[in-house]
Amino acid sequence: MNKIAEKYSGDIEKIIAKYPPEQKRSAVMSLLYIAQREDGYVTKHDINEIAEILEMTPTEVVALVGFYTLYHDKQDGKYRIQVCNDLPCALRGADEFLENLCENLGIQVGDTTEDGLVSVEGVMCLAACDKAPMFQVQTGDGLKYHEEMTVENTMELIESWKKEEKK
Amino acid sequence: MTELVLLRHREIPKINQLDVYKKNGGFEAFEKVVTSMKPDEVTEIVKTSGLRGRGGAGFPTGVKWSFMDNNNWPHYVVANADESEPGTFKDREIMESNPFQFLEGVAIASYAVGATEAYVYCRGEFWELTHVLDEKIAELEEAGLLGDNLFGTEYSLRIYTHLGAGAYICGEETALLESMEGKRGQPRLRPPFPPSYGLYGKPTVVNNVETLTNVPLIITKGGEWYKSLGTEDTAGVKVFSLSGRVKKPGNYELPFGTSFRELIFEHGGGIIDDRPVRAIMAAGASSALIVAEDKALDTPMDYASVRELKADLGSASIIVIDDTVSIDWVLKKTIHFFEHESCGKCTPCREGNYWMNHIIERIHGGDATHDDVELLDSVAKQIENKCLCALGEFSIQAVMTGIERFPQDFEIAVKN
Ligand SMILES: Cc1cc2nc3c(=O)[nH]c(=O)nc-3n(C[C@H](O)[C@H](O)[C@H](O)COP(=O)(O)O)c2cc1C
Ligand code: SF4
Ligand code: FES
């Protein structure tokens, strides 16, 4: 059963067309993002399928999932809050923000809330150092920046996701 | 006030819309080069301008273009939009707010080196931005400014975006090319350099986003005009990303040669709560720590002058540190970054950063003695000059200069 190849065939064709015909492999990074659309992480099945489409070995694809931080091989929160607490942001209160946010959610940094909705982790510079505290939210559908945040408006944002889920 | 060269959206509202960009002279430079100039003539103008790469290494851009191997085709241009150095956020603003000038720069560079295909390698975190760039590129194709037989000539050009997935090392140009080829982003042995062996083994120019965004105005106004900006050593203007303990962090476009003092105290509004400034990092986390005494503050920011402070200007990402934090804490942050981002290909970088991370945790945590500070310094020195790429060297700059120039902080850390 070819899950992504069927469901996203149009997208996949377009991506492969960006590169020379004999260099299909260049499409692998985009295809891994497509795989994450389904479950928020890359499954073993996805790996085999991508390898087949791009004429790579599954081992080669697995190595990429391990190397790049935006690919995940296991299910965490549906919304991954990635708070930048690298040096420039930390000079503007990012460590305190991260700690307070986790305390409010009743989790440790790096963990997921009990309902499986939200994970929170600290990450490296996101090229928004003048807008600390800031974080990005990664879901299967992509990434979104939230800049100059407070714990209060972050909690409101999380509430809005909860409502979205109940619909 | 003189007119801005790069952050023109601050003076021209909606310059991110194609009609507005065109009304302000947009794509006239590209049309001019394609319809009336030879590729080499374009490269000559860029050489005359004195433009040097803004990605950190400062290599003369026109010279790089002239290195392309004309016995091996096709040629590629790759714009480096990986922007991941802590403290650097200029390329993002340029691409978000003045995207067409950047894309016109990519187009002119492509014509100059005979590339008919160009890629923009965006860090994965620029997800939304990359999708906007895709739309802008589609608009250009619709308007006949990209595509086949441009302006009725034989020349054709397509630009594509390529999304990375979170790895600082992919900003290093050969790691970036590996990543584009669908491999892990690990640097290649150099030479050969990308202009002879680049993407898919073909001659490739890799240039930073800001570098390329300078090009359209250099073509329009001339190389001499650009050279007249900045200093004797470093021509032109720069977007300085100012971050850390200043009142007004942000991007500031200024001529090279502007002093640290002017940037931090005039443009940046001074230090939060008017506290004393203690240290400056001029090239993001990859920097030596500069002691912020008067002489340093009055130093003009160009490559040669900053080198006299035994530091590098690099990408000109200025991180300002005051007396609310200790230097051992600063090192904890920078080492943690490099330990996380080392690609693991060479042992001194991989293992060295792993050990430095352990030692600095101990020192900052108050569990260390003076011997540990010496050990940290010696591990750093064992990394020096033993690495395949510059990341290894970057990782020890703050460590070695921090211990040497701020010994009192380490004495306090180990005393407790
Ligand atoms: C570890 C490392 C990270 C780098 N990151 C970037 C980056 O994010 N953006 C960039 O333009 N150059 C980066 N560079 C520099 C590139 O290797 C290369 O010199 C540059 O893209 C060339 O373009 P330029 O001549 O226009 O500066 C990095 C270099 C190293 C060693
Ligand atoms: S110096 Fe570090 S980052 Fe560079 S190739 Fe070696 S291990 Fe990789
Ligand atoms: S340090 Fe947080 S975005 Fe740069």
Report the share of chain B in percent with pLDDT over 70.
Answer: 99
Answer whether B353 touches A (CB < 8 Å): no
What local confidence, expressed as pLDDT, does residue A100 receive? 98
Confidence at residue A166, expressed as pLDDT on a 0 to 100 scale? 85
A57 touches chain B (CB under 8 A): no
- Residue B277: half-sphere exposure toward Cβ, Cα within 13 Å: 28
pLDDT category at B415 given cuts 50, 70, 90 is: confident
Task: Report the percentage of chain B scoring pLDDT > 90.
Answer: 99
Tokens for A79, please give them: 């919304």
Q: Give the residue-averaged pLDDT of B65-76.
A: 98
Q: What is the pLDDT of residue A156?
A: 98
B97 chain-A contacts, CB cut-off 8 A: none
| Residue B168 to residue B87: CA distance in whole angstroms | 13
Residue of B nearest to A123 (CA): B337
- Regarding the beta carbon of A128 and ligand 3, being less than 6 Å apart is answered yes
CATH 3.40.50.10090 assigned to domain A3-67? The reply is no
Contact by Cβ (8 Å): B198, B206? yes
Whose tokens are 């500069």? That residue is B290
pLDDT at B1 over 60: no
Vertex B226 angle, CA B225 and B232, to 5°: 105
B351: pLDDT strictly greater than 80: yes
Report the SS3 class of residue B117. strand
At B96-108, the pLDDT tens digits run 999 999 999 999 9
Residue B143 CA to ligand 3 centre (angstroms): 37
Q: Measure B356 CA to ligand 1 centroid, in angstroms.
A: 24
Interface test with B, best of A31, A70, A96, A125 (most B CBs within 10 A): A125
The pLDDT tens digits of the residues spanning B101-132 come to 999 999 999 999 999 999 999 999 999 999 99
The CA B171 to ligand 1 mean position distance, Å, reads 5
Q: Is the pLDDT of residue B410 over 90?
A: yes
Closest residue (by CA) to atom 23 of ligand 1?
Answer: B207
Residues B126, A69: C-beta atoms closer than 8 Å: no
Sequence spans of domains, chain A: 3-67, 79-166
The alpha carbon of B135 and the centre of ligand 3 are apart by a number of angstroms equal to: 27
Would you state the structure tokens that stand for residue B20, as one six-digit string? 């507005």
Mean pLDDT of chain B, nearest integer: 97
Distance CA B416, CA B407 (A): 15
Q: Does A117 touch chain B (CB under 8 A)?
A: no
Which pLDDT score, from 0 to 100, does residue B2 have?
66
Nearest to B236 by CA among B51, B58, B9: B51
Mean pLDDT score across all residues of chain A = 96
Quote the pLDDT of residue A2.
66
What would the pLDDT profile of A64-123 be if each residue is shown by its tens digit? 999 999 999 999 999 999 999 999 999 999 999 999 999 999 999 999 999 999 999 999
**Cα B82 to Cα B85: distance, rounded to the nearest angstrom:** 9
CA distance A10 to B379: 52
* Among B63, B68, B169, B173, residue to substitute to test ligand 1 (most atoms within 8 Å of Cβ): B173
Spatial contact of B213 and B51, defined as CB atoms under 8 Å apart: no
Residue A167 above 90 pLDDT?
Answer: no
Q: Which residues of B touch A90 (CB under 8 A)?
A: 333
CA distances from B9 to B6, B15, B65, B179, B240 (A): 8, 6, 28, 32, 16
Q: What is the pLDDT of residues A127-152, one digit of tens each?
A: 999 999 999 999 999 999 999 999 99
Q: Name the one residue in this structure whose structure tokens are 């067409």.
A: B100
If you average pLDDT over residues B257-269, what whole number do you get?
98
Q: Is the model's pLDDT at B402 over the cut of 90? A: yes
Q: Point out the ligand 3 atom lying closest to the alpha carbon of residue A132.
A: 2
Of A63, A86, A142, the CB nearest to B184: A63
CA gap B411, A38 in Å, rounded = 53
**Residues B123, B82 contacting (CB under 8 angstroms):** yes
Number of Cβ atoms within 10 Å of the Cβ of A111: 16
Q: How far is CA B162 from the centre of its chain?
A: 18
- Identify which ligand lies nearest to the alpha carbon of B209: 1
Residue whose CA lies nearest to ligand 1 atom number 24: B53
- C-alpha gyration radius of chain B: 22
Phi/psi at B60 (nearest 5 deg)? -60, 125
What number of CA atoms fall less than 13 Å from residue A91's CA on the CB side? 36
CA distance A113 to chain B (A): 23
- B125 shares contact with chain A (CB less than 8 Å): yes
What is the structure's pLDDT at B119?
98
Least Cα separation, residue A44 to chain B (angstroms): 18
Q: Provide the shortest C-alpha distance from residue B158 to chain A (in Å).
A: 9
| pLDDT single digits (tens) B132-172 | 999 999 999 999 999 999 999 999 999 999 999 999 999 99
Average pLDDT of the residues in B269-287: 98
Interface probe for B, chosen from A87, A109, A139 (most Cβ of B below 10 Å), is A87
pLDDT digits (tens, 9 = 90+) for B196-243: 999 999 999 999 999 999 999 999 999 999 999 999 999 999 999 999
Q: What is the pLDDT of residues B231-240, one digit of tens each?
A: 999 999 999 9
pLDDT at A4: 86
Q: State the amino acid at position B257 in one-letter form.
A: G
What is the predicted pLDDT for the residue at A3?
Answer: 81
User: For strand B317-322 and strand B277-281, is the pairing parallel, antiparallel, or unpaired?
Assistant: antiparallel
Q: What is the pLDDT of residues B28-61, one digit of tens each?
A: 999 999 999 999 999 999 999 999 999 999 999 9
pLDDT of residue B218: 98
C-beta of residue B85 within 8 angstroms of C-beta of residue B285: yes
A28 touches chain B (CB under 8 A): yes
Q: Chain A within 8 Å of B241 (Cβ-Cβ)? A: yes
pLDDT range class, residue A19, cuts 50, 70, 90:
very high
Q: Say if residue B416's pLDDT is above 80.
A: no
With contact defined as beta carbons under 8 Å apart, do B295 and B265 qualify?
no
* B284: Cβ contacts below 8 Å, ≥ 6 apart: B85, B86, B87, B88, B314, B315, B317, B319
Rg of chain A over CA atoms, in angstroms? 18
Q: How far apart are CA B77 and CA B119, in angstroms?
A: 6
Domain A79-166 annotated CATH 1.10.10.10 = no
Q: What is the pLDDT of residue A165?
A: 87
- CB-side neighbour CA atoms (13 Å) of A7: 11
Mean pLDDT of the region A49-64: 97
Instruction: Answer whether B205's CB lies under 8 Å from B64's CB.
Output: yes
pLDDT band at B307 (very low <50, low <70, confident <90, very high): very high
